[in-house]
Chain A
């Protein structure tokens, strides 16, 4: 067993999950791969397992944050020192996993967030999405004292303290996003941004449809406000 685990939540990605696992394995990193099957109805779990990943199968769909947190709980129980969070749909470029792990393993940060807007790649988001990211990125920047260019925190590397933090009940399961950055800062954990390449989403099926964007904005404001009002009880180096 390695000291590093790569956690990939997946929901109905079918063969793509297996492909991603294959791509990651081909990099030859010293890390175990865990795919969290969020109640998929297709062959996501089978294709991931066939490609050589360990697979956690949730009895039903919990959503992105819930599936991800299951991975963190597994990582915590198994005693991993480092974890990488990556999407199964191919948006995150696996080559950059080592770029993210670098600062964390060197002890320069507790969490390294991949940002698609620091000069690498040519990611273009929709107007609404860009507006949202600028808004919450700006708010996060103001509160954590460093520039946040990509608040979505979907592609990141973390150490054991952050694994423990994400595995706890305070983790915002519906849209882990800019509020997580503020929570980490309040808990005394250091985050940095690392330039990475992300690809456009292939087809339409997105987490952002219908009333969801409205709820997202409401929830982010509420979550951020509430985080700032909460007393921090997180201590480093705990169990």
Chain B
């Protein structure tokens, strides 16, 4: 194994342990940890089995190993950020609904209070 493989292995192990620790502490939900764990495991795999990158690279037409590797890591990061966009969209929608609910409840509360005061 050459230097860059060792480096990739260290980084991916660090990522995996970091993500698991965040889940353990309750700072990262299990559902969002899936893609991160997959990313770390895939990087680990390719760090050890370097020739597999070349094998995959053939399908896309990339014959320079580091480029193929970066493309793969880039694709994973893209997947993760798309997941974030989807999650943010859902959160925005729910945030809006909750805000509206609060305003509606406040009005009802005021009306009930004024009725009680009479």
Q: Which residues of A contact B (CB under 8 A)?
A: 59-60, 169-170, 172, 174, 215, 218-219, 222-223, 225-226, 229-230
C-alpha spacing A60/B98, complex, angstroms: 9
B107 to chain A, nearest CB (A): 16
A230 touches B24 (CB 8 A): yes
Given known A170-B26, A226-B24, contact A218–B97 (CB-CB < 8 A): no
* Residue from A59, A170, A215, A225 whose CB has the most chain B CB atoms within 10 Å: A59
Chain A contacts of B34 at CB under 8 A?
215, 218
Chain A residues with Cβ under 8 A from B30's Cβ?
Answer: 172, 174, 219, 222-223, 226
26 examples of A-B residue contacts, CB within 8 angstroms: A59-B97, A59-B98, A59-B101, A60-B94, A60-B97, A169-B26, A170-B26, A172-B30, A174-B30, A174-B31, A215-B31, A215-B34, A218-B34, A219-B30, A219-B31, A222-B23, A222-B30, A222-B33, A223-B30, A225-B20, A226-B20, A226-B23, A226-B24, A226-B30, A229-B24, A230-B24
Distance of B19 from chain A, by nearest CB (Å): 10
Instruction: List, in ascending order, chain B residues with CB within 8 A of A172's CB.
Output: 30
Q: Among the interface residues A169, A174, A218, A226, which one has the most CB atoms of the partner chain B within 10 A?
A: A226
Known: A215-B31, A222-B23, A226-B30. 6 other contacts (CB 8 A): A59-B97, A169-B26, A172-B30, A218-B34, A219-B31, A222-B33
**Nearest opposing residue in chain B for A39, CB measure:** B97
Find the B residue at minimum CB distance from A229.
B24
Residues of B within 8 A of A (CB): 20, 23-24, 26, 30-31, 33-34, 94, 97-98, 101
In angstroms, Cα B72 to Cα A221, docked, is 27
Contacts of B97 in A (CB 8 A): 59-60
Which residues of the partner chain B approach A59 to less than 8 Å between Cβ atoms? 97-98, 101
Query: Smallest CB–CB gap between A72 and chain B, Å?
Result: 18
A223 vs B23: C-alpha distance when bound (angstroms): 9
Separation of A219 and B33 alpha carbons in the complex (Å): 10
- Expressed in whole angstroms, the Cα–Cα distance for A170 and B29 within the complex equals 11
Residues of B within 8 A of A219 (CB): 30-31
A199 to B75, CA, bound (A): 46
CA of A222 to CA of B16, assembled, Å: 12
Q: Provide the bound-state CA to CA distance between A43 and B30, in Å.
A: 33
Taking CB atoms, residues of chain A closer than 8 Å to B94 are: 60
- Cα of A170 to Cα of B20 in the assembled complex, Å: 16
Within the assembled complex, what's the spacing in Å between the Cα atoms of A96 and B87? 40
Q: How far is the CA of A98 from the CA of B60 in the complex (A)?
A: 64
The minimal Cβ–Cβ distance linking A39 to chain B, given in whole angstroms, is: 10
CA distance A225 to B97 in the complex (A): 36
Residue of B nearest to A170 (CB): B26
Nearest CB in chain A: distance from B99 CB, A = 10
Enumerate chain A residues within 8 angstroms of B23, measured Cβ to Cβ.
Answer: 222, 226
- Chain A nearest CB from B94 CB (Å) reads 6
